[in-house]
Structure 1
Amino acid sequence: MSERFTRYSKYIRYIHILLDTFLLNLSFLIAYNIKFDIGDPYLASNSDYLRLLAFFNIIWLLLLYVTKPYNKTRIESNLISGVFASSIVVVILHGLILSSFWVIFQTYFYSREQLILTYVFLTIFLLIWKVLFVSFLKYYRLKGYNGRNILIIGQGQLAEELMVFFGKHPELGYKVYNIDDISDDKNKKYSNYITDYSDRNEIHEIYCCLPQLHPEFVQSIITYGEESKVKIKLISDFRGFISKGVDLEYLDYIPVLNINKASIEDVKSRIVKRSFDIFFSLSVLFLGFPVYFIVGIITKLTSEGPMFYSQERVGRWGKPFKIYKFRSMYTDAECTGPKLSSDEDPRITPWGRFMRKTRLDEIPQFYNVLIGDMSVVGPRPERQHFINQIVKLAPHYKKLHSVKPGITSIGQIMYGYAENVEQMVKRLRYDILYLNNISVAFDMKLVILTLKVMVQGKGK
């Protein structure tokens, strides 16, 4: 095999597995000693917690085997958010499985505080380790190590954009070669030239920019890649009509790109996203209960009316459901019909104004998440009254009903509450963007941005 393929990148995943597993055990031991402080840092005399630690490791390694969080492309491994998010998904699933066994087998003698501390320390350690890893990897590649040679075949906007992308990201460690003189009358007989060129320059990846290249030429490049272990990537510009992900299907032997299948419909994605919703909602409701109790009491004491407020909204596939909030308006605020709130809305109570600024009024919606009406992250649900008006101006609004509505969204963070239908349409462009980027990693990023809005009191 050529020297170009004797690389050490394959060992990166094993480094992650070993170090992440070490951090899991370290976090467990630190939490154990903080909780019990009995001078037994290695659990030598506590068989119950030794068994629990063994169970921790078995579940952890099984999850690593099933989810494969370290199977990242070179570009993905260069992003802190992607690397860290993959590990956090494993942590969340680990916590869900452990909690399930804790309830099913009623092992209540284990300390909840110790378990929570274990996951807190593990999350902190993983964040620090992933930041250091990605930073070192970028520095290492900028110094010229662990490089890759790529060849871009073709011409036009796609080839130019690829050249610009790799030129803007030297930290990826790519050295770019380009062959653009592949006209239709030549490219059938250019395959030998390309393979010789690739061997001479020790090319690791070849990008073929379609559709200028002849199918026979592309097939010869694919065959070369299979024989020489060179990665072959076919690039075509579908951006004009793909809105929600693609799926490859066949009509007999004819390949067809199905552009109506959303990536969220992938079974694995749905399971992981739902698991994240349940775990995160339970954590928020359980850990913050004393605060929410005080918020509810203040809501009740500062104005006449109930503590909670419910309203019918439209959810996934147009199905109506009841959304719950802490009441932020005076009672009978909409006796004259549905209205959108504004900055100086007289219907909002003084305490309600504070809750809206900090988003505390949205907390009861985590109950909606638990029962499956909503997700933690997703387009905000609206009332049918306003949906009818929005659709007249922006018919593509109906695309939002393909996913569950959320407590927070890109539109809510970047734009805030809309005061009229025109602003709702402007906010729509952010929510449509979410349909193209659904993932737990992106959800976590939006949750962090929402926390920032809450702490700064920038909601409206």
Structure 2
Amino acid sequence: MFSRLQRFYTSIKVVADMGMLAVAFALAYVTRFSGIIPVTEGIPPWEDTLISLLMVLVIFPVTFKQSRLYATNRARTNTGEVFEVFKSTITATLILVAATYFARERYSRLTLVIFVAYAFVLVTCSRLAFRYVLSEIRRRGHNLKSILVIGAGELGQRVIDTVEGHRELGFRVTGVLTLRPEKVGQYVSGVRVIGHVDSVNQVLDTQPVDQVIIALPLEDQAHVKRLMEQLALRTVDVRVVPDLYQYITLYGGLEEFGGLPIIRLQGDPMEGWSRVSKRAFDILFSLLAILVTSPLMLATALAVRLTSRGPILYRQERMGMDGRTFPILKFRTMCVDAENCGAMMTSPEDPRRTPIGTFLRKYSLDELPQFFNVLLGDMSLVGPRPERPVFIEEFKRQIPRYHLRHKVKAGITGWAQINGLRGQTSIQKRIEYDLYYIENWSLLMDLKILVRTALGGFLSKNAY
């Protein structure tokens, strides 16, 4: 029921957004070609206009989804909602301009500018109106469903917090039952423990309950069978929350395979179109980066050749997605015999560096060949920085969840790096930032990280 209601509300948002975008497009067209503004180059054929509209109705909703505008987020304020719509509208517009350029579709630039203004205003008003209506419905207590939670422990508390975090769905937890008599009369996340589990029939007879959620820990699972036998004689909806959430690490959840429910404790953060879109993003921008930086790479290669003996490029084994290793490419910044005594971390005054090496590392110029790693598919533009296998086994033992950073491709830059976590900084803190990136990934986030990197994100005091 929860997922069905959430999908229902999401579909309303999608339909409303598409309706507002269509209206904005029509208003922009009328504003531009109705005679208010002089037309000097003629009116585009209606076929081209229709194609542009179809592109708008595809690109904008997809961009909104990537920006998590269709995800439930009660913590987001009205101001935050407006700002997110603004950012997503600008991003979608840039994608639309690129798409129309490569598709060689004819469109009026002024019409596009007018459309963006109308789209932002109409979508924003639609979103704020939707939030206001839901708020009023909730405030007046209409169409509320009551929930009885069985389990007053940590799992029961998590259920209550989750339900309260999605109040727009119209559910309220009205009471909690417990297996611990001493907890009766106490409160769990603001909800009163109204009795013992044995009194479930009495509670259902005396109180209106639409749904029962059983949230008992693993050690109390023996009571579930007896509860299910009692509830089977009732018409109330029954849900069971398995006590496995503490084992869910990344993109876990419930899925169905051939009618068989399966609990996924750990999943792939990028599947299907998410993986395709990220790979397309990497190919497009790495090609552009190689083209733009090729003069700089040639100059750097010449500087490395003239200042020290040895090869220009340095290949080093790193670990990437799914634990697979690959040779990372860098401009050589150390002497050819730098690791004769074994692998070592770099230090601020590392004597192994070449005359030009310190400069290249300070400005991250030694990383430029990694655009070819991205083009080959070994890396991504954005992702956790790859480590050497010789260090990874030690990190796995010391840092919980370290291995989860290998669920995605390693990156040239990342969320940790633009926040100053480079060189000999806290590995623990770096992993926290890497996992935050993986859990909140979107193409818009990748673009944001790349922009911050280009504006100086790699000019860090820890870069050596």
- The reply to whether TM is greater than 0.5 is yes
1:365 to 353, 363, 370: 370
One-letter amino acid matched to 1:156: G
Number of the residue aligned with 2:154 = 157
- Paired residues of 1:83 and 1:130 also in contact (CA < 8 A): yes
For normalisation by structure 2, the TM-score amounts to: 0.63
Number of the residue aligned with 1:40 = 39
One-letter amino acid matched to 2:153: G
Q: Deviations over 1:276-311 (max 9, x none)?
A: 33344445555xx1x663465267448626775543
1:261 to 267, 270, 274: 267
- In 2, Cα distance between the equivalents of 1:298 and 1:74? 48
2:295 to 287, 293, 296: 293
**Aligned residue pair count:** 414
- Paired residues of 1:243 and 1:436 also in contact (CA < 8 A): no
Number of the residue aligned with 1:332 = 336
1:184 to 185, 197, 205: 197
- In 1, Cα distance between the equivalents of 2:166 and 2:265? 33
- In 1, Cα distance between the equivalents of 2:361 and 2:28? 37
One-letter amino acid matched to 1:187: V
Question: Which stretch of structure 1 is more off in the superposition, 364-373 or 382-391?
Answer: 382-391
Q: Unpaired runs of 5+ in structure 1? A: 199-205, 226-231
Question: Which stretch of structure 1 is more off in the superposition, 19-28 or 243-252?
Answer: 19-28
- Paired residues of 1:299 and 1:351 also in contact (CA < 8 A): no
Q: Secondary structure at the match of 1:186?
A: helix
- Paired residues of 2:379 and 2:410 also in contact (CA < 8 A): yes
Q: Deviations over 1:162-210 (max 9, x none)?
A: 666788x89979895531236322324644655x366xxxxxxx68361
CA 1:252–1:338: 2 relative to 1, 3 Å: closer
Q: Unpaired runs of 5+ in structure 2? A: 177-193, 218-223
1:285-434 pair list within 5 angstroms: 285=290, 289=292, 293-294=295-296, 296-297=298-299, 300-301=302-303, 304=307, 309-325=314-330, 327=331, 329-332=333-336, 334=338, 336=340, 337-347=342-352, 356=361, 359=364, 361-391=366-396, 393=398, 397-414=402-419, 416-419=421-424, 423-424=426-427, 427-434=430-437
- In 1, Cα distance between the equivalents of 2:170 and 2:326? 51
- In 2, Cα distance between the equivalents of 1:46 and 1:93? 21
Q: Secondary structure at the match of 1:273?
A: helix
- Paired residues of 1:145 and 1:173 also in contact (CA < 8 A): no
2:70 to 66, 69, 72: 72
- In 2, Cα distance between the equivalents of 1:292 and 1:123? 35
Question: How far does residue 383 in structure 1 lie from its aligned partner after superposition?
Answer: 2.2
Question: Which stretch of structure 1 is more off in the superposition, 348-357 or 181-190?
Answer: 348-357
1:61 to 34, 46, 57: 57
Percent identity between matched residues is: 25
- Paired residues of 2:147 and 2:172 also in contact (CA < 8 A): yes
- In 1, Cα distance between the equivalents of 2:113 and 2:290? 17
CA 1:346–1:240: 2 relative to 1, 3 Å: same
CA 1:240–1:255: 2 relative to 1, 3 Å: same
Q: Deviations over 1:356-375 (max 9, x none)?
A: 55555434423322321112
- In 2, Cα distance between the equivalents of 1:342 and 1:121? 54
One-letter amino acid matched to 1:183: H
CA 1:334–1:278: 2 relative to 1, 3 Å: same
- In 1, Cα distance between the equivalents of 2:170 and 2:128? 17
CA 1:93–1:71: 2 relative to 1, 3 Å: same
- Paired residues of 2:385 and 2:412 also in contact (CA < 8 A): yes
Q: Deviations over 1:265-284 (max 9, x none)?
A: x3233223323333444455
Q: Secondary structure at the match of 2:318?
A: strand
Q: Secondary structure at the match of 2:247?
A: coil
CA 1:313–1:247: 2 relative to 1, 3 Å: same
Number of the residue aligned with 1:17 = 18
Number of the residue aligned with 2:281 = 276
- In 2, Cα distance between the equivalents of 1:299 and 1:346? 21
One-letter amino acid matched to 2:329: Y
Rg larger in structure: 2
Number of the residue aligned with 1:201 = none
